[in-house]
Chains A and B, each alone.
Chain A
Amino acid sequence: MQNMAMNALVKCHPYVEACASTEFSSVVLDCIIAYICHSEGIGLEELWARCISPKSLYEKAIFNRVSEYKTGRGINQWINIVRMQEYARSKIKFIYECDSNIMLRPEDYRTRMEYFDLAFSVAANETGCPMDKLPSVKMYTPSTLPDSVFMMGRMSKNIYRRLSDVLRDAEMWDEKTLNDHNRDQTALDAFSYVKDMPRPAENDMRFALEAVSELSETVYVPDSFKDMIDLEFMLMSQKGIYMSKCPRCGRFFVRDPEEKSPYCHRVNSSGMTCTEQINEELGIAAMKRGEVPVSEEKPVSEDTASENETVENTNIEETAEPAPQTEPAPEPEEVPEVKPEPAKPVFFDEKPPQPIEIPKELEKRCQRVYNMLYKRIGTLMTEKEFREWSGYLSDTKRDLREGNAELSQMEEFLDYWETAVKKQSRKSRRHKEAAFDTPSYPESLPVSHSEKPDNELSSMFDEAVKAAEEKEDSGISPAGTEAAPEERSFKPFDPPKYSTVLEAMMDGKYKSEELLTDSSGDSAADGDITVNGKKITLPNWERITRE
């Protein structure tokens, strides 16, 4: 069981895997300790006191491990991994998060990284943490590694054989006398034994060449996990590897600087990559607009003429420009200009889109419609449908900001949903009235309330989505597409605030009078309304003044 958990845990990072038998050997126990403390709401001190007289091996293991934390001989490596993940996330976000359509210059990324690291150093310095005690990465060549004599054993033995005469009478160093001040002196004293050593014979050199070529040129020795992460960032920066946030799934990915698409190539739950999905969606939108995708604009040769004819017959109404008639084959030099590169994703927008700022009134209206629909989860739509709807709203907003949609589209979308909400309000009111008027038949009531509205409302939702999809011209992602996770998340319900009753009435909150009048046709005099023979007295709102 422990091995299984261990195997699963160490896959989180190669560093953890490499140190599975040393630093991270107790990570499973650490995870259990963290879980106990979290689930029972106790601290380490209490857990330690509980296991101070261990009655089982389990308690003893916990006691020993917590004792290690207490005496600074160990840390909870499980918590360390979790915190390290957070550190790496923050650093990625700090360095690489930017407008997805823009790739920064390498020096910009480097500056961001340096800024982040310097901020860390400032914090450490200001909190009194000695900088030399903080983890660091040491860089070596294989022969200068602290254990190089053992790692390159065969070569070392050969060298020792050659130097054995000199080293036999050498004076041994007293370790206690070595300190920071005499490092050079010590090193040069050691060098004095090899200074007269001639280069070895050709055979020995060939042997050395074989041994050296098996080893890496540079060996990094990080003190800790954090340094390993920092090293990764540093080497990425040095080697020109940059990350970018996919505007579709919100996850970071390594982006090729020559790649135009800001979307990632990670296969998601749909079985497609975000790039493929967005191309497909944009392709559909372009088809609806009547544009021919760039990739299909290649000239028609005789061989493909008959095939194109069938395409013409089927799509002739949808395409604005008719497909070229059968023509002689184009000149060979023109072909490469028209032919698109197959590896690169296809984009339809030739000119850069103009971002549109969403007016505050429209933002407020969006929020109002959002709140109205949120309140009607379970009646007008299910939670899943609401999530899809909210995703659609987020997508539309994003498209507006990116210049891929127009304000009128957003307004139409909101108009539609406001109308849908009003319709639903009327219907539910009618249901209430019907329930109030009909003689009491308890058996029949649940049927009318539970089954019928659900079907009606879900069909209303489908209808609405379909209509919204039809209305969109281009640029707006269809309903149900994924937005970035932060946009997708539910917001807590924020009820509309009104400073006056009049404002609330204007907003449609108190339209019962008008609705009842319209539906029944019975107008009421002096504020009273008669519905199916029953009189309802409406509240008489008066402005109270000091006079």
Chain B
Amino acid sequence: MDFINEAAAVNGLADEIVKGGVCLFNAVKYIYSIAEESFYTVSIKDAFKIVLNNITDTDSLTALGLRIDGESCGEMMGEEYEKVLPLMVYSLAVRIPVLKNLRGASGPMTDDQLYKVYNAVMAKGAENYKDAVTESFMEIKYLVRKGKRLPPYNADWFKTYIYTSVPALSEITNKNMFLLGFADVLFAMFYSCLEEELFEKIKEYSADDFGESIEI
């Protein structure tokens, strides 16, 4: 695909993915805090609506009176849980080949362009800590190239990591069960919205006219 400025496009897309990862990370914390004292006053549906309408900005969740501090989500303040952030960004980075599905007049993004974006994201701090994320860039690239159906983005790696590495969150408590429950739904919905957002970004950076774009 031809970009107006390829370097800017690569950097912009990498930024968007990192911001998405940070947003998902914060969203999990905010929603987890609902279980602390706002269980009957804040509707989780409203929280989801806000997150999914503001993919790269979770500040709006504070409007619901939610806050992320040691009191409301102390279990997530440990060092081990902090590693979830680079893991989340990594889990999104490995799915970069999906962007090939957007085809402009000059064709889809090339493998080289996709790889550059992936590298830029990795350079910004994405990391597969303890190999928690089982998917890889190459694997997804292969599936996209073959036109095979991709497995949906899910929270399995997140749950596995929590069970194995974050003892405070792996205890059977009301709050922790709430976390594991909403994570499944949130991750799938969030990725779907982020993908749409990335396609829009590509259209912005692209030199092609997407008046009649074809999405495969």
Contact = CB atoms under 8 A, between A and B. Distances in A.
B47 to A, nearest CB: 10
A71 B43 CA distance: 8
Contact of A52 (B38, B49, B65): B49
B53 interface: yes
B43 A70 contact: yes
Contact of B54 (A53, A71, A72): A53
Nearest to B40: A72
Contacts of A67: 46, 63-65
B41 to A, nearest CB: 5
A71 B65 contact: yes
A125 to B, nearest CB: 22
Interface string B48-65: 011001100000100111
A71 B50 contact: no
B65 A73 contact: yes
A311 B7 CA distance: 107
Contacts of B42: 71
Contact of A71 (B49, B53, B60, B64): B64
Contacts of B54: 52-53
B53 A70 contact: no
Contacts of B64: 67, 70-71
Contact of A53 (B41, B53, B65): B53
Interface in B86-125: none
Q: Which among A49, A54, A64, A67 has the highest number of chain B CB atoms within 10 Å?
A: A67
Nearest to B55: A53
B65 A63 contact: no
Contact of A68 (B43, B49, B65): B65
Contact of B41 (A52, A54, A63, A71): A71
B143 to A, nearest CB: 32
Interface string A29-56: 0000000000000000000010011100
B61 to A, nearest CB: 9
A52 B46 CA distance: 10
Contacts of A68: 63, 65
Nearest to B66: A71
A67 B63 CA distance: 6
Contacts of A72: 41
A204 B43 CA distance: 57
A54 B65 contact: no
A52 B64 CA distance: 12
Nearest to B42: A71
A29 to B, nearest CB: 13
A52 B57 CA distance: 12
Contacts of B38: 71
A54 B60 contact: yes
Nearest to A64: B63
Given A53-B54, A71-B65, A63 B43 contact: no
Given A52-B53, A53-B54, A70 B60 contact: no
B49 A49 contact: yes
B57 to A, nearest CB: 9
Q: Which among B41, B43, B50, B63 has the highest number of chain A CB atoms within 10 Å?
A: B63
A71 B52 CA distance: 19
Interface string B5-38: 0000000000000000000000000000000001
Contacts of A49: 49
A54 B57 CA distance: 11
A442 B46 CA distance: 70
A60 B46 CA distance: 16
A131 B210 CA distance: 63
A208 B60 CA distance: 52
B39 to A, nearest CB: 11
A169 to B, nearest CB: 32
A67 B50 CA distance: 11
A52 B43 contact: no
Contacts of B41: 71-73
A252 B49 CA distance: 50
Q: Which among A49, A53, A54, A71 has the highest number of chain B CB atoms within 10 Å?
A: A71
A48 to B, nearest CB: 8
B80 to A, nearest CB: 30
Contacts of A64: 63
B88 to A, nearest CB: 22
A220 B42 CA distance: 33
A67 B41 CA distance: 11
A371 B45 CA distance: 58
B58 to A, nearest CB: 12
Contacts of B65: 67-68, 71, 73
A33 to B, nearest CB: 14
Interface string A59-84: 00001100110111100000000000
B127 to A, nearest CB: 31
Given A52-B53, A53-B53, A72-B41, A63 B60 contact: yes
Interface of A: 49, 52-54, 63-64, 67-68, 70-73
Given A53-B53, A71-B42, 19 more contacts: A52-B49, A52-B50, A52-B53, A53-B54, A53-B60, A54-B60, A63-B60, A64-B63, A67-B46, A67-B63, A67-B64, A67-B65, A68-B63, A70-B43, A70-B46, A71-B38, A71-B64, A73-B41, A73-B65
Which 8 pairs across A and B sit closest by C-beta, in order of nearness?
A67-B63, A64-B63, A52-B53, A72-B41, A53-B53, A71-B41, A71-B42, A71-B65
Interface of B: 38, 41-43, 46, 49-50, 53-54, 60, 63-65
6 contacts: A52-B53, A52-B60, A53-B54, A53-B60, A67-B46, A67-B65
